[in-house]
Structure 1
Amino acid sequence: MQDEDIFGKNNLGHQKYKLNKTVDNNWIESSYGKYSWIRNTPEDESTEFLGASLTNFKLKFVGFLIIFISVILFGKVFYLQIVKGKEYIAMAETNRIRQVPILAERGVIYDRNQKALVGNAPNFYLALVPNDLPKDGVARAEAIKKIADIANLLPQEIEEQLSAFKSYNYQSIPIKNDISYEQAVYFEILNNTYPAIQVKTGLQREYSIPESMSHIIGYLRKITKDDLENDKSYLPVDDIGKSGVEAQYESVLRGEYGKQQIEVDAIGKEVNVLAKKDPIRGSDIIISIDSDFQNKVQTILQKHLRAHGLSRGSVIISDVSNGEIISMVSSPAYDNNLFSGKLSVDDYKKLIENPNKPLFNRSISGEYPSGSTIKPVFAVAALEENIITEKTNFRSSGGIKVGEWFFPDWKIGGHGLTNVRKAIAESVNTFFYIIGGGLLDNTLQNFTFEGLGVAKLADYAKKFGLSAKLGIDLPSESEGFLPSKEWKERVKKESWYIGDTYHLAIGQGDLLVTPLQVNFFTLAFANGGTLYQPHILKTIMEQDGSAIVNEPIVLNKNFISQKNINIIRQGLRDSVLYGSSRALSDLSVEVAGKTGTAEWRTNKTPHAWFTGFAPYDNPKIAITVLIEEGGEGSQTAVPIAKEILWWYFNM
C-alpha cells in the first residue's frame, strides 16, 4: 500500500488526523520523525516515544528548589545592598578617597624669663600604609625586606610594628623616626614600586636645656597601642608626652589636627587633593623655673657631690608667697634629646639599669626618713596643744632610758636645760622624745609627763602636707608615709611601743617624706602659716594672644597661731646663729633653717638634709637640700645651701 501523503494538497482525509491527547498527557514529545501525527486508534497507543519522564512529585521538587535558591539569592542581595550597603560603600570610598591628618605644631615651653627651653625642628620619618602593601605573601615579604634594608632595620621589626597597629589598616603607621635625607630620597624612589611607603615631614622636639631640667620638662615618645586604646583622639603617627611638663600639659601643647581629603588610584597613589583644613598650633606655656638659676644650682650640687664621692641628691627652691617652683634639681639626670627620635634599645637599657636611676625624679618621687627637719612641725604641734609653752624646759642629759632600752641625744652628755627654741636650734632629741611620747615613771605604767602621742603627731604632720600628694603639676609625685598603731599591728604584726613614738618624734623609724614635702612645710613657716600647692606652670599663652595665668592654690591656712609660728621661726633663726646651721651665719642675707641626719639602714651612711628660708624678716624663697648617704646635714647639705643662697642674693 502506497504511503499516504498526510500533508498532501488534495487529501481530504486529513481532518481525521489529530494529536493523540491520551498519550500527550504523559509525554513531552509524542514522537520524533515523519509520523508525528497519527490516527487516533487504540492500536497506535503503544507507539514508542523519546524524552524524559517527569512525575508530579519531581515537578514540585524542582519548583521548590528553584524558589529556595531564589530566596537565598534575594536574601544575599538584600543583605549586601540594604543591610551592609553603607558599610561597603564607605569601604569603597576609603579605597578611593582617604582622609589624611595634618599634625599640629607642638607648643613651645619657656622659662619664667621667657627664654625658650623647648622648640620644634623639622625632620623626615618613614611610615607605611598596610592596606597598600602587596597582597601576595612573597611579594609583601620582598617589599618589607627592601624597606628594612634602607631603614637599617630588621624585617621582623617592621612586621612587629605593623602587627601592633593592625586595626589601622588604612592609616600611616610610623616605622622609623628621624631618617636621613638620603634615606628619604631612596624611599621616595621606591614609592613608585610600593605606594604603601610614605616619607613624611614632621617636627621633632629639640631641647636646648641643661640636664638639670630633664625631670621637669620630660620628653616625648611615639605613641603605643595602649595609648591609642586609652584615647581615641590620637593616631599611630603621634608623639605623646611621657614625663614632666610634656606629659602634664599634653592637651595644651599638642594643638589640633588639620586634615586633607585625597583621592587615590587603584594601587593607592595620591592623584588629587579634594579638600584641606589647616591644623591649629598648640599653645605655648611659661613655667616658673628660672633656667639660668637652675643651671647654677645643678653646677653647685654636682661640684659638692663629686667632692664627697657621691652622685645622688635633690635641691628645691620655691617662692614662699605663692608656691611657685623656681628651681628643682634631681641628680643624676639625663639628656632629653636622647628621647627625641634617636634613643636606641641599648641606650635606654643603660638608663634604666643605671643603679643611680637618672630617670627617677628624687625631688618629688623619692621617699626618705625626714630626720630632724620634721622637728619644727612637732614643736609647733606641742605649742598648739598647750603641752608646752615657749618657756617650758626639759633637761637633756644624754638621752632617755625606758626599761632596757636607751634613746640617745646626738650630743654625749646632753644639752642641759632646753626650751623649744634651743631644741630646734641644737636639734635636741630628748626634748622631742618628751613632747612626742611623754615620760614614764619607773614602773613604766604611768606617765609623769604626757606627750602628744602618735595620733596627734600624725594629725599635725598631715596639716603640714605629709602623707599625701601636695598636687604639684608633674607626674609621679609620691605621698610619703606616716606610721600608726593600726598599721604596725596589721602589717608588722607587732604592738606599738613608746619607743616607736620617740622615733617618730625625731623623724626616724618608718616615717617617710619627699624633699618637696619638706620644702613646703618650711615654706609655711616662712610665710606665716599658709601651705600652698606647689606648681610649675606660670602662664598658658593661647594662639589668639590671650594669656591664662595659673593662680596660686592654698591647701591649708590659719591652722597655726601666728604667735606659735613666730616661736618656731625664732628657733630656726637660732639654728643659724649658734646651732647646727651656723655655717650660714656669715652670709649677707639673714637665713633661718634646720639640718637633718636621717638614718635609713644600720649598715649605710645616713642621708643629709638642710631646709630653710631667706631673708629671715621678709622671706622670698624656701630652700631644701637632700644628699643621699651624705652623712651629717651640717657637713654636707648646709655648704650646698650656703653657696646657692649666696649666688641667688648676690648675682
Structure 2
Amino acid sequence: MMFGMGSRPKEDTPIFPVGIDGRCESAVTDDRLLFVDDTLADWGGRSAPKNEKNRRVSTSMGTEGIIPVWAALVVGLIIVLVRCGQVQIVERVRYAALAEGNRSRIERIPPERGVVYDRDGQVLVQNVPRFTATVIPSDLPTDEAERRLVFGQLAEIVGLTPRDIEESLLKGGGPDSVPISIAEDISHGQAIMVEIMSSRWIGVQLLRGTKREYPLATEIPSMSHIIGFESGVTAEDVESGDFLPTDRIGRTGLERSYETELRGEYGRRRVEVDALGHRKTTIAEEPGTSGQNLILTIDAELQQTAQDALRRKLEELGLSRGSVIVMRPDDGEILALVSWPAYDNNLFADGISDRDYAALSEDSDAPLFSRAISASLPSGSVFKPVMAAAALAEGIVTPRTTFVSVGGFYVGQWFFPDWKAGGHGLTNLAKALSESVNTYFYIIGGGYDGREGLGTERIVRYAKLFGFGATTGIDLPGEGAGFLPTEEWKLETKGEQWFIGDTYHLSIGQGDLLVTPLQVAVMTAAFANGGNLVRPHVVNALVSGDGHRSYLPTEPVARQLVSPENIAAVREGMRDSVLYGSSRGLSLLPVSSAGKTGTAQWSSQHGNHAWFTSFAPYDRPEIVVTVMIEEGGEGSSTAAPVAREILERYFLKKTE
C-alpha cells in the first residue's frame, strides 16, 4: 500500500472494524504507519533524507517507541475481542429480544362487556359496534410541520379542530405508546377515512369496539337509576394501570357497582409490524375473558307499571318528584325501583354533550338523583310500626292497653295535638296504627302523666334494629343512611338541650328523624316476613361465558328482631288500616293486604311529604310496595292510590 505526498488514513477509519451483526472482522496493521512523517516525499523506492536529526528520531521510534505502542494495540485487541464475545454470547438473548421488539408489538384486546337482563330474560343493556379515532403519541411525526398536517387531516375527518386533538393528547395520561381517544362513536364513513389515513401515518389508529345501548331507556327511563351509565376513563384511571385511555367504565348504577364483573379481563395480541410500524400479521393471540352477564331481580313490566302509576299521580297533582319500591319480603329481591324524574342513559352512552349534561345537572328536580335509595326525608307516621313493636318488646304496653284520645294534650305551655280534631276516643294498639293516633305514640314514646315511655335511647335502638340510621347494603352505589337524632347530637350540633317535645316528635316520625324510601320498604318487609331484616338487592345471578350461574346470597341480615307475637300485633294494626282506617282504598284489591300511611311535615313553606307502605297478601306476603311523593300532602289520598294500582297489576298478571 502506498500513500502520496502528505496523505494520511481517514481519521474515522477504525483499526479494528466491527460488523453490523456484532462480529469482529480481521484487524489490519502496517508497521509502516508507525514511521509516517510529514517530511517523507513518498515510499515509492526512494530513501528519506539522511541527516542526523531524522536518524535520531528513527532510531528512537524503532527501539523505545515500538514496544509501548504494540502493547497498547494488543490490549486494545483483547478488549475488542472480549466485547465481541460478550455481544455474541452473553447478551445474545437481550439483543434478540430487542430485535424481536423492533418488528413486533403487544396489543391489549378489550374484553366484551357483560349484558344485562331482567328476571324474565328481557335485554336491558346490550353492546353495539363502536368506532374510535385515536392517535399514538410515540408514533406521531416529530417534525412540527408534519405533525400539524396529521392533526389537520384527522380533525377534518372527525369534525374537530387541531387544537381539540392537542388538548386530548394533553389530557390523555398513560404511556406515549398507548392510543389516546380523539373522537368516539364516529360514523362508518369517518371510520373508513381514518383507516385510510392510518395506512400513511402510523400515529393514527382506528379502534373497533363496542358501546352500551339501553333499549328500554325511552319507554322506561326510570330504569336509568338502576342500570346507570358508562363514561370515558380519566387520566387517574389510566395511571392506575388498569385501563387504556380508550376504555369506558361504569360511573353510576349497576354499571359502577358491578364494574369488575361486567368488564372482564383483557386479552393480548402480538402483531408483526413493518419498519413504519404498520401491522403485517398476527403472531400470537391470547384471548381475554368476557365480562359476566347480569340477571336482575327487576321485572321490566312491573317497573313500567310502577313508573307510569307514579308519573300519572304526579302529573295530576302538578308535582314532579317521587319514588316507588316493589320488593319481595322474604329475600329482599327488588322487583321495581322507581325514582322520578329520571333520564335517558343513552345520552351518556353516546358521549353526552355539554348542553345535555347542563340541562340534567342544573335541573332543580335533580333527575340524576336516585331518590328511592338516596333521598333522606322525614318519615311521618310510617315510622309508627317500629314504635309499636318497641313498646311491646319493652313492656310499655300490651296489644290491649288503651288510652283515651281527646285531640291532644298539654305539657306545660306546649300543646301536642292529634291530627283529628276532637280525637279518636278509646284507642288500643291496633286502632292507634290503623287510624295513626298521634297521642298514643306520644305516650308510648315519651311517657305522660306519670306513665313511662320508651325514651330517646330505646327508640333509637329499635329504629336501628329495623334498619334505620344505616345503609341497607343494596348492591347499588350512592345509598343514603338517613339520620337518627340523639340527645348528645342535639347538644353538640345545636347547642341545645333535648326536651320532651323532641321525644314526642321522634315518636311520630317527625323532628330531625330522616329515612330513605328503601329503608321504609325494608322495615315493612320485616313485619311482612315475621320479623327478619333482609338485604335488598337488584342482581339475582352472574352468568359466565360458559353459562355457569352464580347466585347472590339472600340470607337475612338479622332474624327475629322482636317476638312473633309482637310482630303479629303490629301486622294486625296495619291490616286494620286497610279495613277500617287510613288505607281503606286497598280494601277493594282481589287479595288481602296491610299498610300504613304517613304525612310528613318538613317545611312551613312547602307541602307535606306523602307516604304509603304496604304488603300483600296479608296471610302469605309475597310483595311489599312503598310509595313516597314529595310534597304530595296526605299519604292516604296521594301515595296509597299509586300502591293500589301497582298491586292490582301485579296480582292480575299472576292470573293471566
State TM-score, norm by structure 1.
0.86
1:591 matched residue in structure 2: 593
Tell me, yes or no, if the aligned pair for 2:174 and 2:235 is still in contact at 8 Å: no
1:37 matched residue in structure 2: 52
1:252 matched residue in structure 2: 261
Could you tell me which amino acid in structure 2 is paired with residue 37 of structure 1? Answer: E
1:138 matched residue in structure 2: 145
Query: Percent identity among equivalent residues?
Result: 49
CA distance in 1, matches of 2:621, 2:454: 30
The change in CA–CA distance for 1:255 and 1:412 in structure 2 (over 3 A counts) is same
2:199 matched residue in structure 1: 192
1:633 aligns with 2:642: no
2:224 matched residue in structure 1: 214
CA distance in 2, matches of 1:85, 1:644: 75
1:545 matched residue in structure 2: 547
2:155 matched residue in structure 1: 148
The change in CA–CA distance for 1:409 and 1:92 in structure 2 (over 3 A counts) is farther
2:465 matched residue in structure 1: 463
Tell me, yes or no, if the aligned pair for 2:268 and 2:286 is still in contact at 8 Å: yes
SS at match of 1:439: coil
CA distance in 2, matches of 1:270, 1:378: 72
The change in CA–CA distance for 1:223 and 1:392 in structure 2 (over 3 A counts) is same
1:177 aligns with 2:184: yes
Cα displacement string for residues 479-518 of structure 1 (whole angstroms, at most 9, x for unaligned residues): 1110111111111111111111111111111111110000
Tell me, yes or no, if the aligned pair for 1:132 and 1:267 is still in contact at 8 Å: no
When the two structures are aligned, how many residues end up with a matched partner? 603
Could you tell me which amino acid in structure 1 is paired with residue 186 of structure 2? Answer: I
Cα displacement string for residues 159-191 of structure 1 (whole angstroms, at most 9, x for unaligned residues): 222222343211122222110111112112222
Tell me, yes or no, if the aligned pair for 2:383 and 2:509 is still in contact at 8 Å: yes
SS at match of 2:557: strand
1:402 aligns with 2:417: no
CA distance in 1, matches of 2:364, 2:95: 56
1:420 matched residue in structure 2: 429
CA distance in 1, matches of 2:95, 2:170: 24
Once the two structures are overlaid, the 10-residue window that deviates more, 281-290 or 146-155, is 146-155
The change in CA–CA distance for 1:503 and 1:84 in structure 2 (over 3 A counts) is farther
CA distance in 2, matches of 1:473, 1:603: 36
Displacement of 1:619: 0.7
Cα displacement string for residues 6-60 of structure 1 (whole angstroms, at most 9, x for unaligned residues): xxxxxxxxxxxxxxxxxxxxxx99x99956239xxxxxxxx9x999xxxxxxxxx
1:64 matched residue in structure 2: none
The change in CA–CA distance for 1:439 and 1:146 in structure 2 (over 3 A counts) is same
2:380 matched residue in structure 1: 371
- Superposition misfits of 4+ residues, deviation over 3 angstroms: 31-35, 80-96
1:573 aligns with 2:571: no
1:10 matched residue in structure 2: none
1:278 matched residue in structure 2: 287
CA distance in 2, matches of 1:233, 1:90: 26
Displacement of 1:265: 2.8
1:41 matched residue in structure 2: none
Could you tell me which amino acid in structure 1 is paired with residue 651 of structure 2? Answer: F
1:225 aligns with 2:235: yes
The change in CA–CA distance for 1:345 and 1:312 in structure 2 (over 3 A counts) is same
Displacement of 1:594: 0.4
Displacement of 1:329: 0.7
1:100 matched residue in structure 2: 107
Tell me, yes or no, if the aligned pair for 2:611 and 2:628 is still in contact at 8 Å: yes
Tell me, yes or no, if the aligned pair for 1:253 and 1:282 is still in contact at 8 Å: yes
1:203 aligns with 2:210: yes
* Aligned-residue RMSD, C-alpha: 3.5
Could you tell me which amino acid in structure 2 is paired with residue 140 of structure 1? Answer: R
2:309 to 300, 305, 314: 300
CA distance in 2, matches of 1:399, 1:91: 89
Could you tell me which amino acid in structure 2 is paired with residue 211 of structure 1? Answer: P
CA distance in 2, matches of 1:87, 1:531: 63
1:160 to 167, 172, 179: 167
Displacement of 1:205: 1.2
Could you tell me which amino acid in structure 2 is paired with residue 222 of structure 1? Answer: G
Once the two structures are overlaid, the 10-residue window that deviates more, 92-101 or 404-413, is 92-101
SS at match of 2:193: helix
Tell me, yes or no, if the aligned pair for 2:332 and 2:536 is still in contact at 8 Å: yes
1:385 to 389, 394, 407: 394
Displacement of 1:464: 0.4
Once the two structures are overlaid, the 10-residue window that deviates more, 165-174 or 621-630, is 165-174
Cα displacement string for residues 328-365 of structure 1 (whole angstroms, at most 9, x for unaligned residues): 11111111211112421211121111111111111111
Structure 1 residues 524-563: aligned runs within 5 Å: 524-563=526-565
Once the two structures are overlaid, the 10-residue window that deviates more, 529-538 or 342-351, is 342-351
The change in CA–CA distance for 1:526 and 1:88 in structure 2 (over 3 A counts) is farther
Displacement of 1:278: 2.4
Cα displacement string for residues 516-574 of structure 1 (whole angstroms, at most 9, x for unaligned residues): 00001000001110111111111122222221122312111122111111110000011
Cα displacement string for residues 279-337 of structure 1 (whole angstroms, at most 9, x for unaligned residues): 33222221000101111111111111111111111000101121100111111111121
